[in-house]
Amino acid sequence: MQGIDLNISSYAGYLLIGLGLAGAVLPIVPGPLLIWLGAFIWAWGNDFQIIGPLLLVVLGVLALLAWGMDLLTSLAFSRRSGSSWRAVGGAILGGLVGGFLLSGVIPIIGTLAGAFAGSLLGTWLAEFTATRNAKAATKAARVYIASFILSSILEATLSIVMVVIFAWRVWG
């Protein structure tokens, strides 16, 4: 293990990396950001001897790429399908409201389920109010589901790449 000192920052880093992996496929949880933060805290606790600034920059770029791909996938799918900008805004607002409302009912799981259901409902309602067409609103909601699945796959893939790079450098 190349002289790794398992201190509190190492454990905190591992915890954040684990949460980041879970967050890569769960709505609202910023998976790649948590992985980067975990790697940074781990590196800081080990005096940047094994994980240095260059590797943290690489991991940061991957985290930004994952975030950007997530955002662009959702926007591209929505706009390509003919959904209005209101549907995109409805998904964001609905996700925030749904996550907040259900977080008090069932902590963690309620937040995640509420965010997904709220995004879906927000997309449908926003598109319906914009077009007064239930068929178009349903199409926008279906496109939201497809873009969510694709962006989750892309984010999970980049998150796994980040963790593999971290693990390869730490355990060699």
**What is the 3-state secondary structure of the chain?**
CCCCCCCHHHHHHHHHHHHHHHHCCCCCCCHHHHHHHHHHHHHHHCCCCCCCHHHHHHHHHHHHHHHHHHHHHHHHHHHHCCCCHHHHHHHHHHHHHHHHHHHCCCCCHHHHHHHHHHHHHHHHHHHHHHHCCHHHHHHHHHHHHHHHHHHHHHHHHHHHHHHHHHHHHHHC
Predicted pLDDT at 4: 57
Q: Is the pTM of this model over 0.85?
A: no
Look at 82 and 141; give whichever has higher pLDDT: 141
pLDDT digits (tens, 9 = 90+) for 43-67: 999 999 999 999 999 999 999 999 8
Q: Considering the chain, what is the average pLDDT of its residues?
A: 90
